[in-house]
A and B are shown apart, each in its own frame.
Chain A
Amino acid sequence: MEFQVPSLNLLIVLPVLIVTGWGMLLMLAEFFIPEEKKSWAPWLTMLGLVLALIQTIGLWGYNGGTFTPKGGAPMVVVDNFATFLNIIFLLTGILTVLISIHYLRRTGLDRPEYYMLLLFSVSGMMLMGMANDLILVFLALELLSIPLYILSGFAWPRPDSEESAMKYFLLGAFSSSIFVFGIALTYGSTGTTSLPLVLERISDAGMLGLVATAMLIVGFAFKVAAAPFHMWTPDVYEGAPTTVTAFMSVGAKVGGFAAMLRVFVAALPQLGEAWVPAVAGVATLTLIVGNVVAIVQPNIKRMLAYSSIAHAGYIMIAVAASVNSPDGVSAALFYMLAYLFTNLGAFAVVIALEHKQGEGVMLDDYKGLGKRRPWLALAMAYFMLSLTGVPPTGGFSGKFYVFRAAIEADLLWLAIVGVITSVISGYYYLRVVYLMYMYDGEGEVVANRALVWTVGLTALATLVLGLLPGPWFDMARDAALQTVQMVAGG
């Protein structure tokens, strides 16, 4: 058989190449720049991410693919769906760098490797949204996860950081193996791993296709921390350095949902009758477990871990609605955009209060913040309201679109579960607000300029998404339509 060179268009994957290349550039730079001048790493990282972001925004509206084998479908797809998600990932990266700079210095974790691993992880996330082949989805998943395993153990030699890395690695490896098994069964039942071809052949796959789908759900549910595959989340989020927790809680989750939406909506809509109830069930369980268990957490990092589980549940509602409602995918995209700003903002405040590694992260440390730092407390209160879903916040708009999509898709009961659990979530989110304003307390707050900027920017973005969600939702709709068109086009 003659070897065929696959068609290449490296320009459209340039953002990923920039991010990966920048990671390698940092490795090279480390050889030549002396130890004393360590402060270059975050700014260089930022430069790379901003360049990639500019390039990504330029690709808005582009619809095409590359790495196309002869007679096959492209391995990598660049459409608005991928571009929208890439913008989310790059913003996550930029904001994470902003909140990391000072935190790493004062906790003694300032090693350039941190930023390299961050960049590699971001490139994996970007590929998650662009992958059009199950093998590539798996590669992207590993590229996303392996740097995160190392990053969660980055506070070495603190034992709970190592514990968190170990737990994450073992459970992650286990879930990856289930995911690969799902891919293998998909290949076994359809004879291909390319998503458009899977779409054509999956309806004849029978039982094997259903088992494969179930395994893929397990793999994704683990990555996005949905119950009952959430057990690792609280421990890992608590033990990892707080900046890494912030990055994981947004990046890894959105990455998981990116590939999940692409695989389930673009390749497996015909099995919708089978997987929609499963995803809806997982969403229900996730919402209940996440919101109820968060109530009893005394540690804010653990509380936000359970809160992130709960938010995975809300996005799961949108995933379940995405087959029968045209707005399911766009609701998920919008929700993730709002969640990115709200959650990173909340974590930025947590980092401001964590004056020493692992100290200042209990809920009691928030007592009296309203008097000590009125602006910071106001921002935190606003983020908490947004996470609860009170207007006018981005969180409210996100929940509104998600529930509307669920009702359109005849999943009224799921929307009701979502509303009820939102009310439950008010208890623990608003308790932070209550502690900040109704008590007096002492405690150090370390708010440097980059951190204040991050808090301000994320609060502003949350406000904009809350007051004027329309244009952004239209953007999300543009991003989602492409995926649906791909389904129609086969």
Chain B
Amino acid sequence: MDNQLLITYLPIAVLLGIALFLAVLLPVLSLSLGPKRPTFRKLSPYESGMTPIGEAQRRLPVKFYRIAVLFILFDVDIILLVPWAVSFRRLGLYGLAAMLVFMFIFILGDAWVWKKGVLEWD
């Protein structure tokens, strides 16, 4: 039983082997056979594009990040609310009570965020 299960995975193993083989072979071939003419142009980051200005790591305004974090919170809230609403009848009073507790905690967090001025853009 176990062996049969493993045999069904054999093609994947073969594929992995071939992929690994090619992944090693092709760069080696290209490195050893390909011609190399290192000129100034060829060594620049974008051979046929603009010369880069400045660093790649720049400072970004943190506001966007803050909004993104808040979005996750609301998203998780919705993810919980939808299945609860769908099975509202079956969950009954217990579900309602649990959801009310959850919503209380969630709204408390929202109020706190509001109070702290996170929702202000400037």
Contact = CB atoms under 8 A, between A and B. Distances in A.
Interface of A: 2-3, 5, 24, 27-28, 30-31
Interface stretch (B32-40, B69-77, B89-97): B89-97
A2 B90 CA distance: 7
Interface of B: 87, 90-92, 94-95, 105, 108-109, 111-112, 115
A24 B105 contact: yes
Contacts of A2: 90
Contacts of A28: 108
Contacts of B109: 27
A27 B91 contact: no
A24 B108 contact: yes
Per DSSP, chain B at the interface is: helix
Contacts of A31: 111-112, 115
Contacts of A24: 105, 108
A3 B90 contact: yes
A292 to B, nearest CB: 38
B112 A3 contact: no
A162 to B, nearest CB: 13
Nearest to B91: A3
List of 8 A-B pairs having minimum Cβ-Cβ separation, nearest first: A5-B94, A3-B90, A27-B112, A24-B108, A27-B108, A3-B91, A31-B115, A24-B105
B87 A30 contact: no
19 contacts: A2-B90, A3-B87, A3-B90, A3-B91, A3-B92, A3-B95, A5-B92, A5-B94, A24-B105, A24-B108, A27-B108, A27-B109, A27-B112, A28-B108, A30-B112, A30-B115, A31-B111, A31-B112, A31-B115
A189 B108 CA distance: 40
Given A3-B90, A5-B92, 11 more contacts: A2-B90, A3-B91, A3-B92, A3-B95, A5-B94, A24-B105, A27-B108, A27-B112, A30-B112, A30-B115, A31-B111
Nearest to A20: B105
Contacts of B92: 3, 5
A3 B92 CA distance: 9
Nearest to A25: B108
A253 B92 CA distance: 40
Contacts of A3: 87, 90-92, 95
